[in-house]
Amino acid sequence: MKKSIAIALGALFVAGTAFAAEEFATADANADGQVTVEEAAAAAPEITPEKFAAADANGDGTLSAEEYAAATAG
């Protein structure tokens, strides 16, 4: 019983990660591996400039795949 729950949670996690990667590729309009504030606004209007800034962990003004996942997570 516990094992099947763990497997189900694992499958959910993998599916979520794949979805985020696909979303990032879609948002990264010029495919340079970074999502700018303009690209984010076009792809995901829920990412406000405030959310964008909060997700930009290294403060370089663009979102990496990991940073983009954080921006869309909450």
Which residue, 15 or 42, is less far from Ca ion as judged by CB? 42
Which residue, 4 or 30, is less far from Ca ion as judged by CB? 30
One-letter amino acid of 39: E
Quick one: which of 30, 38, 50, 73 contacts Ca ion (CB under 5 A)?
A: 30
Q: How far is the CB of 32 from Ca ion (least distance, A)?
A: 4
Residues that bind Ca ion (CB under 5 A): 28, 30, 32, 34, 56, 58, 60, 67
